[in-house]
Amino acid sequence: MIYIHIPFCKQKCSYCNFHFSTSLNFKDDMLSAMKKEIFLRKDELQNKNLQSLYFGGGTPSILSPDEINSLIDEVLKYFSFSSDIEITLEANPDDLDKNFLRELSKSPVNRLSIGTQSFFDEDLKLMNRAHNASEAESSIKRAQDFGFENLSIDLIYGSPTSNMEIWKENLQKTITLEVPHISSYALTVEPKTALENWISKGKISSPKEEEQNKEFYYLSDFLKDNGFQHYEVSNFAKPDFYSRHNSSYWKYKEYLGIGPSAHSYNGFDVRSWNVANNQQYIKKLNSNVLAKEEEVLSQEEQFNEMIMIGLRTIWGVDLESLNNKFSDRILEHFQREIKPKINDEVLVIENNHLKIPEKHWFMADGIASDLFIV
């Protein structure tokens, strides 16, 4: 699979620490550099028949449909698409007007991931989103009107501007709109963000973990009651609407990341990442030089990653794969660390897979980190 990072946004969300620029001055140069990177890295993937192509960011919908198509065409010069390929475009609600959707519906893009975040204006203002509550709803309906049935929306819970009643209304709205996939995250205070600054100055209160915990479990119960499957800590899907792209990450498959700050993985032990600087990225690619660094993951790092990713999913950690992959020393550490957690029923083994029972999923990252080799 291939991930293409579009490093542009109209404005900066208060909670975001991803790499992007609000200046579009070098957009054409960036697109040319990305096409050059696709060419230079065309032989890195073992499997040339793609199951997934994903446009993330940033805000990919800041591009025109023609620009999106030009990147797809570039990929097709060196790779083939499987007959049922999933091509996802992350989009902001304010970009999804009729003209954009009309043109996009003629492209190979067949899945939209819409950055809704909330259907309430007070939440959206705190997050400094470019859209309002009305656009959050109308953009989904317009996308469906233009034939986009495979939709995912992002929702954020645990905001200081929200409460359980508002959260219930947000979730009911998603059911009413018949959205088949939801990615939902607790509002997190990241370093060097506007949100962190506002909290430090006492302008708003800090998110409360107890409230986020309650809203997480309500989210899970409510969506399961409405036909969704909770297949990863933060992801819910109707049957046949799992994100193929994200599922590939969680199953340790190889992927190629294009664009500044994008990461790649060879499926075994090598991870690489591009420079998180637009000008440096463009300059290097203009000179036919890849703007990336890479590392060979140690056995310990591979083990930690396999535990962290696997325990966030319904599939869990495949114990046969684990036993075949790692040394006796690592496996002895693993058995020693899981024993008390199994006794406490924080971990369970089902069908030779180690899993966290769903009632403990809110604490999944902490449970997994306790097993790490440090």
Show which of 211, 231, 250 is a domain's final residue.
Answer: 250
Domain boundary among 184, 217, 250: 250
Whether 137 and 209 share a structural domain: yes
pLDDT in tens, 148-185: 999 999 999 999 999 999 999 999 999 999 999 999 99
Query: What is the DSSP pairing of strand 235-237 with strand 229-232?
Result: antiparallel
Q: Is the pLDDT at 16 greater than 90, yes or no?
A: no
pTM: 0.93
User: For the ranges 16-20, 115-119, 343-347, 369-373, which has the lowest average pLDDT?
Assistant: 16-20
Examine the domain organization and report whether 199 and 304 are in the same domain. no
Domain-located, residue 270:
no
228 and 308 co-located in one domain: no
* pLDDT one-digit tens code per residue, 52-107: 999 998 899 999 999 999 999 999 999 999 999 999 999 999 999 999 999 999 99
Total structural domains in the chain?
A: 2
pLDDT value at position 128?
85
Mean pLDDT (whole number) for 45-53 = 95
Answer with the residue of higher pLDDT: 128 or 328.
328
Tell me the pLDDT tens digit for each residue of 184-233.
999 888 888 888 888 888 888 888 889 999 999 999 999 999 999 999 99
CATH number at residue 155: 3.20.20.70
> What's the pLDDT score for residue 71?
98
> What's the mean pLDDT in 301-311?
95
Residue 218 sits in the same domain as residue 93: yes
Q: Is residue 35 part of a domain?
A: yes
The CATH number of the domain where 353 resides is what? Answer: 1.10.10
Average pLDDT, the chain: 94
Q: Is there a domain that residue 317 lies in?
A: yes
User: What domain range is 337 assigned to?
Assistant: 299-369
Task: Specify if 288 maps to a domain.
Answer: no
| Boundary residue ending a domain (228, 250, 272) | 250
